Amino acid sequence: MFAQLAFRCRCTLWLSAIGILLLLGGCAEEPSTLERVQAEGVLRVITRNSPATYFQDRNGETGFEYELVKRFADDWGLELQIETADNLDELFASLNRPNGPVLAAAGLVASDGRKQVARFSAPYLQVEPQVIYRDGQRRPTRPEDLIGKRILVLKGSSHAEQLKALKMQLPDLAYEESSAVEVVDLLRMVDEGQIDLTLVDSNELAMNQVYFPNVRVAFDFGDSQNLAWAVAPGEDTSLLDEINTFINRAHENGSLQRLKKRYYGHVDMLGYVGAYTFAKHLQQRLPRYEKDFRLAGQKQGIDWRLLAAMGYQESLWQPTATSKTGVRGLMMLTLRTAQAMGVSDRLDPKQSIAGGAKYIAQVKSQLPDSIQEPDRTWFALAAYNVGGGHLEDARKLTKAEGLDPNKWLDVQKILPRLSQKQWYSKTRYGYARGGEPVHFVRNIRRYYDILTWVTQPQLEGSQVTVNNLHVPGVNKVPQQDDMPPL
């Protein structure tokens, strides 16, 4: 009995000793990056302060990269801590700093050169590097055409890397790099003719084209590139594996697509011609009427940018516009509506805007309570265009189809039927060009989205304006002295 006990005690001692050794061994092994991040509960990310990556607006931190990386942090229950680098060299250096940020999310092209200093995740966006020139100048069409031009690119960018490679083949090529500017500055400098050419990625142009009426794509410079997040070099794949899983899932569940559309969808929506035409009108026409839109919006409790979007759809902000049907003015009032709204001169833009605002507020207030926002706004726009009676007819037809008469998505499917006899003959108000309000609402929503975007950060002080419009996410305009000699 005693011997047995002693044996058991010895065994326990041995097992404890082995356990302690294992524990010590375990402690001696470095925790993986992911374990370290989880233990700290904080994800430290380095990015750039730019419209395409990370910036502050009225509601706080935002930007494509910020939103994506925030979702990753949330999935892991981590607090997100953002740091910003002034330039790309600094960004990569900080990634390699001991106890520095563990991840760079900054719209980075996973270029060969950069693969020497960092490891890249699965791609989340495919972009084309593009040579940008000014409308009215001779359009370059091939790399040889870059010789003899004033070219400026971001220092440390993949574009600088591309130009360096090209210079090996074309020694006469000259270009400058600057870390004092952001992409939006490069585009502005081309737009204003301060430089001849620059190189930016297609997503950055898509985002900014609506500000710069003179900026055009000369040609795609080389193959498509992938944007990816970067981590420090090394063997440890713990964090990178989880990032890849997250990015693949974001591709599959459509969340990445939605984010892309929100930030980079303007050109998709308008087409390139539409985008720079819009930019031209934004610069030349809107400033004449912005005060009137703001005033009318305030008076009627309607977002002035929605009124401005309506004005663009109605007349491209032209006060003397006249439709085939005799509807006139910047907000396209019928004679009857104008009289009802107290508008004596439809061609007076002030009166037209005030009358249009009063009318949309009125038709909106007359909609049934069962229609909730944001649909209520879209229904009000439709009523503005086709009339409340016809809209009510379409809602009845919608209900009869088993669809929801309070949802714009459903009613817009049915509205075009108002121009088909088999349908309109059953309605109270009869024939209407039911397709028109569907286009009308769709276009206004696009313009409204863009106007909301371009007028976003109205924070006082540090924000930059381009062509008198606020550019989201840009906090500094380089002074002329900051520019490299050209």
Give catalytic residues, as residue numbers: 314
Which of 88-96, 167-175, 190-198, 329-337 is the region at the interface with ligand BLG (rule: CB under 6 A)? 329-337
Question: What does the alpha-carbon distance between residue 147 and residue 222 come to, in Å, rounded to a whole number?
Answer: 17
What CA–CA distance (Å, rounded) separates 41 from 37? 6
Name the pairing type of β-strands 79-84 and 42-47: parallel
Binding marks (x or -) toward ligand BLG, 288..317, rule CB under 6 A? --------------------------x---
Which range, of 163-171, 186-194, 201-209, 322-330, touches ligand BLG by CB under 6 A? Answer: 322-330
Q: Which stretch binds ligand BLG (CB under 6 A): 13-21, 42-50, 105-113, 384-392?
A: 384-392
Q: To the nearest whole angstrom, how small is the minimum distance from the Cβ of residue 419 to ligand BLG?
A: 13
Shortest approach of ligand BLG to residue 210 CB, angstroms?
A: 24
Query: Could you say which of 210, 218, 330, 333 contacts ligand BLG (CB under 6 A)?
Result: 333
Cα–Cα nearest to 193, from 167, 210, 213, 208 = 213
382 interacts with ligand BLG by CB under 6 A: no
Structure tokens given for 90 = 């600094």
Region of residue 275 (left: phi > 0; alpha: psi -120 to 50; beta: else): alpha
Quote the CA–CA distance of 299 and 292 in Å, as a whole number.
11
359, 379, 408, 424: which one contacts ligand BLG (CB under 6 A)?
A: 359
Q: Which helix (H) or strand (E) holds 302?
A: none
Six-digit token string for 466 = 């381009």
Question: Which among 85-93, 208-216, 299-307, 379-387 is the span making contact with ligand BLG, rule CB under 6 A?
Answer: 379-387
Q: Least distance in Å: CB of 386 to ligand BLG?
A: 6
323 binds ligand BLG (CB under 6 A): yes
Given the structure tokens 């490069």, which residue do they identify? 186
Residue 430, Cβ neighbours under 10 Å: how many?
13
- Which residues lie closer than 8 Å to 29 by C-beta, 6 or more apart? none
Q: Does 377 bind ligand BLG (CB under 6 A)?
A: no
List the one residue from 113, 123, 143, 389 that touches ligand BLG (CB under 6 A).
389
Question: Cβ of residue 359: shortest distance to ligand BLG, in angstroms?
Answer: 5
Question: Near ligand BLG by CB under 6 A, which window of 228-236, 254-262, 381-389, 475-483?
Answer: 381-389
The alpha carbon of residue 409 and the mean position of all alpha carbons in its chain are separated, in whole angstroms, by 23
Binder to ligand BLG among 98, 169, 235, 324 (CB under 6 A)?
324
Alpha helices in 170-237 (DSSP H): 183-191, 202-208
What would the two tokens of residue 242 be? Answer: 């989880």
Angle formed at CA 298 by CA 293 and CA 302, multiple of 5 degrees: 80
Q: Which is nearer to ligand BLG, 55 or 359 (CB)?
A: 359
Residue 410 CB: number of other CB atoms within 10 A?
Answer: 18
Q: Which of 49, 214, 283, 385 binds ligand BLG (CB under 6 A)?
A: 385
Among positions 232, 386, 464, 469, the unique one binding ligand BLG when judged by CB under 6 A: 386
Kindly state the tokens that stand for 235.
């063997």
Q: How many residues make contact with ligand BLG (CB under 6 A)? A: 17
Nearer to ligand BLG, 346 or 376 (CB): 346
Cβ at position 440, least distance to ligand BLG in Å: 6
* Closer to ligand BLG by Cβ: residue 186 or 331: 331
Q: Are 303 and 297 in contact (CB under 8 A)?
A: yes
Least gap, CB of 351 to ligand BLG (angstroms)? 13
**Least distance from ligand BLG to the Cβ atom of residue 448, Å:** 15
> Which among 33, 37, 52, 90 has a CA at the least distance from the CA of 453?
52
Tell me the CA distances in angstroms from 423 to 183, 396, 400, one per residue in order.
53, 11, 12
Whose Cβ is closer to ligand BLG: residue 199's or residue 333's?
Answer: 333
Q: Which one among 337, 351, 352, 467 touches ligand BLG, defined by CB under 6 A?
A: 337
Per CB under 6 A, the segment of 177-185, 188-196, 333-341, 372-380 that binds ligand BLG is 333-341
Q: Which amino acid is located at 234 in the chain?
A: G
Give the pair of three-digit tokens for residue 81.
Answer: 């801590």
Residue 64 main-chain phi, psi, to 5 deg: -55, -50
Given 190, 321, 327, 469, the residue binding ligand BLG (CB under 6 A): 327
Nearer to ligand BLG, 94 or 334 (CB): 334
Interatomic CA distance for residues 202 and 217, integer angstroms: 9
For helices 238-252 and 33-40, the axis angle rounded to 10 degrees is 80
Closest CB 426 distance from ligand BLG, rounded Å = 19
* CB-CB contact of 484 with 152 (8 Å): yes
- Residues numbered 12 to 71 that lie near ligand BLG (CB under 6 A) are none
Q: Summarize as ranges the residues that interact with ligand BLG (CB under 6 A).
A: 314, 323-325, 327, 332-334, 336-337, 359, 384-389
